[in-house]
């Protein structure tokens, strides 16, 4: 199906008329000042719009121009812009900005090639500054643009950079500047990354909906109302994702149980809001060491029983396993150890793995078992971008992979591979070298089930567009 892009974007324009304008466009409208647009754009990466708006306002009070910015120390900048995502790194970039701008006589440059020479400015930021601040043709490809253009099958790409290149070839130039703000506002309100609201979207009949799982229509029953939806996500700090909007995001998952790993917090360090999200009961198993490891559940279903750990102090002190028992199955949420630098913890990890397998095999004798979490291992070469370079590295050693072989031989099934044999399907990307943008990643997060549960697995997928952590969530739909 080929879509009519002019019509689609016209409809989107109508739909978002009363929605919030992305913050960077707002700043451009309010100030027409390229310096402020540039700085706000740097701050906006991986940060909610409201947080960017407040941080920009605080910063611009003290530093309305380049000269005043150059007089503020990096530590003070970090305090001013906190809590934007990666505020320490962004403060470093801002501190270096006045020096870097000398090459351009202190004036914000107007081309992408020049802008990307500035600290903290990648192609997305550069495109946004060129289009928003200078009203020149450029296509900023935010994650929403990349995602929605693929959903519409207007492009067929696996990275935002490739999307930008294809759009430069085929998108009529009149759409280049507005497309980003249109699709960001549309992606935040209707065509959301998790459970898009297709039921109220005027594009519903014509949209190809590639790889989309629409939300359940409020008040309507699922076709098979015994289906349950589970989400697993290594959040790399539950307090960090709280600042990135987790409390609003949780209901959007529309999941029966959400399983988190690497929560890095003890229960008394969590806000009351985080512990009591409406509609869910939360369960936490934390490490004794503060700010380390930890797993958690948010469940809409009432379990028969909750089990904390594996019953072995060596592992339970690290808060790595929590299990819920339901009528027909167990759900085990696991944060496997990392083998660590120079593989110092490989032996510990292999002992943990063995214990975990025995634990699952014991439960399997009673009823079905679903295991999920960050396994900290890419099983096969297809499960990471650079297998040859990583043979001796944590997460891809022969020892870890052969444990995964033994786990599969014991009858446990990697549900994602029941449906998808494609390469380049990852769940974790390093924060360095723009790895996520370039899709240089690893698939180390899994939903596995025991052999007898195979027929009960309805679908398994990777929610690669959900940001907030260096891992993305994964999903399992299951009929007990
Ligand atoms: S129909 Fe659904 S998938 Fe398509 S654009 Fe609308 S919300 Fe997005």
- 311 and 367 in one domain? yes
Domain of residue 150 covers 5-189
Query: Does the C-beta of 149 come closer than 6 Å to ligand 1?
Result: no
Query: Does the C-beta of 199 come closer than 6 Å to ligand 1?
Result: no
Residue-wise pLDDT tens digits, 24-46 = 666 665 677 899 989 998 998 87
Report yes or no on 157 lying in a domain.
Answer: yes
pLDDT-derived band at 121, boundaries 50, 70, 90? very high
pLDDT at 204 over 50: yes
Query: Does the C-beta of 161 come closer than 6 Å to ligand 1?
Result: no
Q: What's the CATH number where 442 sits?
A: 3.60.10.10
- 183 and 232 in one domain? no
User: 20-29, 266-275, 368-377, 446-455: which range is least confident on average?
Assistant: 20-29
Residue-wise pLDDT tens digits, 69-102 = 999 999 999 999 998 888 999 999 999 999 999 9
- 233 and 93 in one domain? no
pLDDT-derived band at 284, boundaries 50, 70, 90? very high
d(CA 152, CA 182): 15
User: 408-417, 433-442, 449-458: which range is least confident on average?
Assistant: 433-442
pLDDT recorded at residue 251: 86
pLDDT recorded at residue 128: 85
- 406 and 299 in one domain? yes
Ligand 1 nearest atom to the CA of residue 190, by list position: 7
Query: Does the C-beta of 3 come closer than 6 Å to ligand 1?
Result: no
Name the average pLDDT for the chain.
91
pLDDT-derived band at 131, boundaries 50, 70, 90? confident
- 288 and 437 in one domain? yes
Report yes or no on 465 lying in a domain.
Answer: yes
pLDDT recorded at residue 195: 79
Report yes or no on 448 lying in a domain.
Answer: yes
- 429 and 327 in one domain? yes
pLDDT recorded at residue 265: 96
- 353 and 275 in one domain? yes
Structure tokens at 219: 């008040």
For every residue of the chain, which 3-state class applies, written as one string? CCCCHHHHHHHHHHHCCCCCCCHHHHHHHHHCCHHHHHHHHHHHCCCCHHHHHHHHHHHHHHCCCHHHHHCCCHHHHHHHHCCCCCHHHHHHHHHHHHHHHHHHCCCCCCCHHHHCCCCCCCHHHHHHHHHHHHCCCCCCCCHHHHHHHHHCCCCCCCCHHHHHHHHHHHCCHHHHHHHHHHHHHHHHHCCCCCCCCHHHCCCCCCCCCCCCCCCCCCCCCCCCCCCEEEEEEECCCHHHHHHCCHHHHHHHHCCCEEEEECCCCCHHHCCHHHHCCCCCEEEEECCCCCCCCCEEEEECCCCCEEEECCCCHHHHCCCCEEEEECCCEEEEEEECCCCCHHHCCHHHHHHHHHHHHHHHHHHHCCCEEEEEEECCCCCCHHHECCCHHHCCCCCCCHHHHHHHHHHHHCCCEECHHHHCCCCCCCCEECCCCCCCCCCCEECCEEEEECHHHHHHEEEEEECCCCCCCCECCEEEEECC
Residue-wise pLDDT tens digits, 219-268 = 444 444 578 999 999 999 999 999 988 998 898 888 999 999 999 999 99
CA of 145 to the centre of ligand 1 (A): 13
Report yes or no on 194 lying in a domain.
Answer: no
Its sign, for the CA torsion 202, 205, 208, 213, is positive
Q: What's the CATH number where 172 sits?
A: 1.10.340.30
d(CA 443, CA 474): 10
Identify any residues that bridge with 478 across adjacent strands, giving them in sequence order: 228, 457
- Last residue of some domain: 141, 158, 189? 189
pLDDT recorded at residue 441: 97
CA of 444 to the centre of ligand 1 (A): 29
Q: Residue with the nearest Cα to atom 3 of ligand 1?
A: 209
Residues 6+ apart with CB under 8 A from 351: 314
How many percent of the chain have pLDDT more than 70? Answer: 95
> Are 296 and 267 in contact, with CB atoms under 8 Å apart?
no
- 286 and 432 in one domain? yes
- Last residue of some domain: 169, 189, 209? 189
Mean pLDDT value of segment 289-309: 94
| Ligand 1 pocket test, candidate residues 8, 19, 151, most atoms within 8 A of CB | 151
Report yes or no on 313 lying in a domain.
Answer: yes
Report yes or no on 199 lying in a domain.
Answer: no
Report yes or no on 218 lying in a domain.
Answer: no
CA of 201 to the centre of ligand 1 (A): 6
- pTM higher than 0.75: no
Query: Does the C-beta of 198 come closer than 6 Å to ligand 1?
Result: yes
- Last residue of some domain: 189, 208, 240? 189
Query: Does the C-beta of 16 come closer than 6 Å to ligand 1?
Result: no
pLDDT at 302 over 60: yes
pLDDT recorded at residue 465: 84
- 308 and 355 in one domain? yes
Number of domains, the chain: 2
Report yes or no on 389 lying in a domain.
Answer: yes
Ligand 1 nearest atom to the CA of residue 197, by list position: 7
- 298 and 150 in one domain? no
Residue-wise pLDDT tens digits, 153-187 = 999 998 888 999 999 999 999 999 889 889 988 99
- 261 and 177 in one domain? no
- 185 and 243 in one domain? no
Residue-wise pLDDT tens digits, 333-365 = 999 999 999 999 999 999 999 999 999 999 999
């Amino acid at each position: 199906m080929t879509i009519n892009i002019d019509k689609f974007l016209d409809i989107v324009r109508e739909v978002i008329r009363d929605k919030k304008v992305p913050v960077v466009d707002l700043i451009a409208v309010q100030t027409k000042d390229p310096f402020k647009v540039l700085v706000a754009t740097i701050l906006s990466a991986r940060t909610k719009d409201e947080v960017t708006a407040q941080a920009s306002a605080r910063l611009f009070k003290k530093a309305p121009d380049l000269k005043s910015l150059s007089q503020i120390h990096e530590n003070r900048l970090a305090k001013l812009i906190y809590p934007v995502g990666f505020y320490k790194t962004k403060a470093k970039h801002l501190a270096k900005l006045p020096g870097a701008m000398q090459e351009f006589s202190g004036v914000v440059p107007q081309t992408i090639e020049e802008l990307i020479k500035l600290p903290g400015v990648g192609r997305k930021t550069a495109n946004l500054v060129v289009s928003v601040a200078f009203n020149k043709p450029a296509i900023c490809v935010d994650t929403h643009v990349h995602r929605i253009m693929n959903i519409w099958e207007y492009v067929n790409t696996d990275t935002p950079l490739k999307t930008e290149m294809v759009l430069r070839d085929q998108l009529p130039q009149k759409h280049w500047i507005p497309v980003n703000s249109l699709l960001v506002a549309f992606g935040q309100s209707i065509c959301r990354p998790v459970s898009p609201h297709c039921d109220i979207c005027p594009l519903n009949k014509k949209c190809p909906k590639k790889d989309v799982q629409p939300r359940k229509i409020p008040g309507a029953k699922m076709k098979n109302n015994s289906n349950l939806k589970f989400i697993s996500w290594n959040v790399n700090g539950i307090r960090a994702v709280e600042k990135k909007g987790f409390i609003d995001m949780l209901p959007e998952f529309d999941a029966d149980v959400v399983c988190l790993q690497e929560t890095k917090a003890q229960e008394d360090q969590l806000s009351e809001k985080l512990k009591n999200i409406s509609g869910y009961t939360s369960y936490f198993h934390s490490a004794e060491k503060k700010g380390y490891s930890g797993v958690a559940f948010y469940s809409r279903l009432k379990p028969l029983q909750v089990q904390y750990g594996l019953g072995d102090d060596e592992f339970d002190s690290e808060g790595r396993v929590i299990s819920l028992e339901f009528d027909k199955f167990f759900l085990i949420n696991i944060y496997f150890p990392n083998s660590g630098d120079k593989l110092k913890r490989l032996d510990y990890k292999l002992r943990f793995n063995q214990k975990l397998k025995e634990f699952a095999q014991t439960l399997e004798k009673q009823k079905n078992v679903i295991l999920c979490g960050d396994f900290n291992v890419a099983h096969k070469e297809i499960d990471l971008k650079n297998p040859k370079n990583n043979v001796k590295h944590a997460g891809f050693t022969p020892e870890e992979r052969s444990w995964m072989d033994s786990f599969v031989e014991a009858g446990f099934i990697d549900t994602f591979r029941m449906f998808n044999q494609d390469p380049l399907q990852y769940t974790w990307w390093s924060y360095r070298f723009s790895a996520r943008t370039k899709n240089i990643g690893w698939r180390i997060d899994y939903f596995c089930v025991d052999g007898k549960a195979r027929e009960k697995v309805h679908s398994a997928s990777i929610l690669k567009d959900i940001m907030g952590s260096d891992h993305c969530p994964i999903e399992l739909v299951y009929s007990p």
